[in-house]
Amino acid sequence: MVNSWHVSVAAESITAFLFARIGYDVSVQYGANQPEYDLMVSKEDIIIKVSVKGSRDGGWGLTQGFKNKEVNYHEAINLWLNKHSNKTIFSLVQLKDVPINELPRVYLATPADIADLMKRARNGAGDTVLRENKVWSKAQYTADAIPKGWIFSEQRIHEVLANLK
């Protein structure tokens, strides 16, 4: 991947492909991106806004824009969470260590799922980056990882939709 724009295009394309492959209609935005979502997918009476985040380094920086001296990690995560509709889901696409002839790893989660996992990062200290799989070198931290249950599948889509309010 040459730059972040290429990562973004690749991530949106693979997400669109995966939803289309299982029978969802996919609408891609035209013009300037909406701040809340990148794709709309629908099937029968279900319409979902999908925010796509691509990564080529093992993590997705999500809340660093909210973190400062006056705002701790958990508060930054809450500020990020409050900016997202509870009707939007995230597609997290990981390109790190994926050969060109294999599909990237793709995970689905609600904003609340992500906020909860980010707050538990670093043994509950929180983090600004959602990490796919990170073993910390500092003794006070263990390992952080995306749950296996978040892997893109029809079952995961049903689970995520059931959790939307």
How confident is the model over 149-164, as pLDDT tens digits?
999 999 999 999 988 8
What local confidence, expressed as pLDDT, does residue 13 receive? 96
Q: Residues near 160 by Cβ (< 8 Å), separated by ≥ 6?
A: 89, 108, 109, 110, 113
| Cβ neighbours of 57 (radius 10 Å) | 14
> Taking a C-beta distance cutoff of 8 angstroms, is the pair 89, 48 a contact?
yes
The pLDDT, as a whole number, for residue 56 is 96
Above 90 in pLDDT, residue 79? yes
For residue 141, the model assigns a pLDDT of: 67
pLDDT tens per residue across span 114-147: 999 999 999 899 999 999 999 887 767 678 999 9
- Cα–Cα–Cα angle for 86, 60, 133, rounded to 5 degrees: 110
CA dihedral defined by 129, 82, 90, 157, rounded to 10 degrees? 130
Least reliable range by pLDDT among 3-7, 29-33, 84-88:
29-33
- pTM for the predicted model, two decimal places: 0.94
Cβ(159)–Cβ(89) under 8 Å? no
Tell me the percentage of the chain whose pLDDT exceeds 70: 95
